[in-house]
Structure 1
């Protein structure tokens, strides 16, 4: 099988504060969404699933494929492992996170203990797992991990994600207006020349490996304090994990997958939950 690395340098898969984007519009304040719980985790109804995709969430699409872990079928659960880099990592074929160093290097930038920084990453994984059919567990080794987290060896930007996936063999075709096997219409759409959305066919491809790397020279912190020059680690990890599991930037309303860092909310929002549940189904009861 052929693997293709996702380039966030093309799609800008990074968090950026309003201060870092002169002339951009800051995220408008909105009431905080309820914490992840029973009500927030209810799967979307069939009627809601028929809404244009842009109003719900934005899946990561590369080469016409929608990406997810596990079986190449939306709405199916998956088990994903992760590990923290303990030394130099070199992946020359990747577009992002080609060279990483010890994950604990990030502790120096935050002034926190290495164990505390790791705990924030684990909490971010838990956030996505509690909202969906994803099960995360720490791998026995870095080589066996599906998702590897580390610090950038060549610092730039803020945070990046690299995603490798298996090219399609034709078994995961989603037909426009079709069903995902659970009786739900698939909200697959694309932008037309008139700025409107139109249904399209799309492939579902299995993610094979992801890497998340943060800039150790950036200012990191644990918790919100109103200082947007320093990014909260849990929020940042949650955003990058969203990319690593198949979600793209979402600009329609509040979302942890918005490309701008904010301190308006700390947990997953309605768009994030809709997206992860569309890909992996609701959490097991």
Structure 2
């Protein structure tokens, strides 16, 4: 594996660049080589994979990914960090031709901006404050992403992998399930980061699959999901009234989909949400 960055190298590099991690950008840099090795191994990358990394920061994970994949696209919003990454990779012995750095916001980056070769895997230490919308945006924008492993706040990881009936099951769980099968891939302690966060992190692995239904638009399904969890203690008949154009219309759509109008959103699978969207005649598409 390409030479990795330890705590001393991370701090020296940050000092040389005049970089101070900021909460605004959700910057917590991994400085433990063993954690990097663990993430790369757990990601299950092949020599043919093209990795999309979000928020590479000082490059600790990037160096590990360059040793395991054919190419790495690194999306970094901080211009100083983005400009330094190729130099860091070269100094560590990596082939700079296998790294493309995009100084961009991952919440807005497009497939055209990423370009070729097209990413097949998402592996990233995601900023806590934007982790869920980033994952959902990239899965929607880059259909070539077949699998991935993301490190997020443990609480967020639990939500992403939760199943129906769980207290942590909600909008992130259902929307990720639209795109992929997800599972927990372990816990990451705070002391492997600089600065040290006040929460544990968790690894979430996912494998893309076909959407539950091909006859209904994703945005229509997500509108149902958003409405169902907006007031999660309400029955679906009541929660979906605004979306469907009235409680009676919501009940009719639910019955047509084979769902009890007295049920709550937390008990439904993504397949059932898709069935409700397909059976309804009204609804307003939601954002990702």
TM-score interval for Structure 1 and Structure 2 normalised by the shorter chain: under 0.3
The answer to which structure has the higher strand fraction is 1
**TM-score of the aligned structures, taking structure 1 as reference length:** 0.21
TM-score, scaled to structure 2: 0.21
Q: Relative to total residues, which structure has the larger helix share, 1 or 2?
A: 2
